Amino acid sequence: MRRRRYTFDRRFTEFFYLSLSHESLENHYRTNFSLMQHHKYSLTELDNMIPYERDIYVALLLQHLEEEAEKQKKQG
């Protein structure tokens, strides 16, 4: 039983390690800082997000900002 739990924990850890491998630690902190300073997220909210959930919110935020920039361009 003990060995089985170790295997599960190791696989779980490897999964999240791989899911974060596309982002450097510096980029992670810079993104968190920007989200906290400019978009009013709290550090607790960001830390409690699942890694892919954070990526989704960042992508949606970027899309929203691009749409707002387009609107401002059209308005003059």
Per-residue pLDDT of the chain (76 residues; tens, 9 = 90+): 555 555 556 665 555 555 556 678 888 889 999 999 999 999 999 999 887 888 899 999 999 999 999 999 999 7
pLDDT of 7? 55
Our CA angle for 52, 56, 62, nearest 5°, is: 140
Helix locations, 1-76, DSSP H: 2-19, 25-39, 43-48, 51-75
Judge whether 65 lies within some domain. Answer: yes
Judge whether 55 lies within some domain. Answer: yes
Stated pTM of the model = 0.62
Judge whether 48 lies within some domain. Answer: yes
Judge whether 34 lies within some domain. Answer: yes
Its domain, for residue 67, covers 24-76
Judge whether 4 lies within some domain. Answer: no
Judge whether 38 lies within some domain. Answer: yes
Q: How many domains does the chain have?
A: 1
